[in-house]
Amino acid sequence: MVAPCLSKIIISSESASSSIARKVTKAWPDVDTIIVDDPASYDRKFDMDDDPVLSGKRTLVVAPNKGRFIRKCPGTMGLVCCNYYVIDLAEGCSIDCSYCILQGYLNDRRIRLATNIDDLEKEIDETLADTGRPIRLGTGELSDSLMFDNELGLANILIDMIRKRPQATLELKTKTDNIEKILDIDPAPNVVIGWSLNTPEVIARDERGSASLDKRLSAAKKVVDAGWKVAFHFDPLVIHPGWQDGYRKVVDGLFAVAGPDKIAWISMGALRFHPSLKPIIKSRFERSDLLKSQFSLCPDNKMRYVKPLRKELLAHLKSLILSRAPTVALYFCMEGIEIWSDVLGGSPASLGMLDEVFG
């Protein structure tokens, strides 16, 4: 079990009586907790601390979300987009990944958890009505979907919302093994539990505070055995010593716990990062091999492995996965049509994935 390490909880006074605030105070009775009128006025950047990013990850703000909960995943101009809708129930993450863009967000480094979850239900209906077609939603964009789930059980509230709406598919994406509460309820056919996978070396060096690979796979097996659909994300794929064999073992492990018929989709994405993240990775993750490869600056202003390496990496994974599950829905995240064509042999449309994955 991955237990978040909180050192301070700030609850907005207007949320103090909400069910989520009550769950929070019950879950962490020993953590220094204050109720304030305006959580935004408290130190949000922690610049006076040795590691402001880490200090932010140890501070939980519980307050209503004043904006919208659902937004279309922005994707990137020129790259193939998977039409994902992001639910921002929480922003910020207790897991500390070297490649995470949230480290570069300077405005508010704290984890913010929304309390007005009831408003989300209305937004889901609005989004379904607006699009007029099935949609795929997920909470794992700005945080880990299950980071607090053993303590707060928020996933089950979301699952119950989605269960009643067959036009929507919800993915809960995680690097934890926090599935205790999910196992307490009946599987929902339109809910997928997704795991981000990587080699044990990358997990140890670059995903601090996450569950080990074995624990993630063991958790996946439990939910598969309980009747849930699962998904897997090889993202970011990282070139590091022994990566070919390392990823082969991860793929072996994946298919040992979930047969192709239990897998909703698998995605792959080679490491990419904004250049401003480079000094942060260097200073915060001294043991990381992340930057020890060949990168070029791409038109979307992100650093990626130079094309031959990127193709080799993605082609290797594709071949490992499709040799085990030739019909599994496999897609790339944040790659251009050129890489799709070269590695997967066509665009999502030509590969017939538009309905299955891309909505």
Partner 1 sequence: MIPSGSKNIKLVELKLEDIREDDRYSFSYPADPPALLKSVKKTGVISPVWVTPSPDEGLFNLVSGFRRFTAARKLRIETITALLFENRDQFEMFLLCVEENAASRAFNQVELCFIVSSATENFGKSFNELVDVLFPILGLSKSRKIYNRLVDLARFGPASHDLIARLKMQLGSVTNLADLGADDREAICLWLTENNFGLSKSVKLIETISEICGIEKISVNAVIGGAEADTPSDIDPPQRGIKLFDNIMNRRNPALKQMQDRFDSNVRDLKLPAGVTVIPPKNFEGKNLDFVIKAGDAKRAVDSAKAISGADKVKLAKLFDWI
> Smaller CB distance to partner 1: residue 19 or 301?
301
Q: Which residues contact 285 (CB under 8 A, 6 or more apart)?
A: 98, 205, 206
CA dihedral sign of residues 105, 202, 357, 191: negative
Binds partner 1 (CB under 8 A): choice among 7, 13, 283, 350? 283
8 Å CB contact between 161 and 182 = no
> Smaller CB distance to partner 1: residue 1 or 306?
306
Determine, following the binding rule CB under 8 A, whether residue 273 of this chain makes contact with partner 1. no
For residue 48, what are its two tokens?
């006076």
Q: Which stretch binds partner 1 (CB under 8 A): 58-66, 174-182, 276-284, 316-324?
A: 276-284
Report the chain's terminal Cα–Cα distance, integer Å.
33
Least CB distance to partner 1 at residue 48 (A): 6
Q: Which stretch binds partner 1 (CB under 8 A): 141-149, 204-212, 287-295, 347-355?
A: 287-295
Binds partner 1 (CB under 8 A): choice among 28, 85, 285, 295? 295
Binds partner 1 (CB under 8 A): choice among 256, 297, 349, 354? 297
8 Å CB contact between 85 and 137 = yes
Give how far Cα 301 sits from Cα of 47, 221, 271, 339, Å: 27, 38, 13, 17
Q: Which stretch binds partner 1 (CB under 8 A): 41-49, 119-127, 180-188, 314-322?
A: 41-49
Least CB distance to partner 1 at residue 312 (A): 9
Determine, following the binding rule CB under 8 A, whether residue 19 of this chain makes contact with partner 1. no
Least CB distance to partner 1 at residue 294 (A): 4
8 Å CB contact between 330 and 322 = yes
The values of phi and psi at residue 138, to 5°, are -155, 155
Least CB distance to partner 1 at residue 302 (A): 10
DSSP bridge pairs for 135: 168
Give how far Cα 172 sits from Cα of 7, 49, 69, 186, 324, Å: 26, 32, 15, 15, 24
x/- contact string, 231-250, with partner 1 (CB under 8 A)?
Answer: --------------------
> Smaller CB distance to partner 1: residue 36 or 291?
291
Which 47-106 residues touch partner 1, going by CB under 8 A?
A: 47-50, 52
For residue 30, what are its two tokens?
């020993």
Neighbours of 328 (CB within 10 A): 16
> Smaller CB distance to partner 1: residue 16 or 298?
298
Q: Which stretch binds partner 1 (CB under 8 A): 9-17, 25-33, 147-155, 288-296?
A: 288-296
Determine, following the binding rule CB under 8 A, whether residue 265 of this chain makes contact with partner 1. no
Binds partner 1 (CB under 8 A): choice among 71, 249, 307, 324? 307
> Smaller CB distance to partner 1: residue 266 or 290?
290
CA dihedral sign of residues 310, 313, 317, 320: positive
The residue ranges of DSSP E strands in 143-256, in sequence order, are 168-174, 191-196, 207-208, 229-237
Residues that bind partner 1 (CB under 8 A): 47-50, 52, 278-279, 282-283, 291-292, 294-299, 304, 306-309, 338, 342
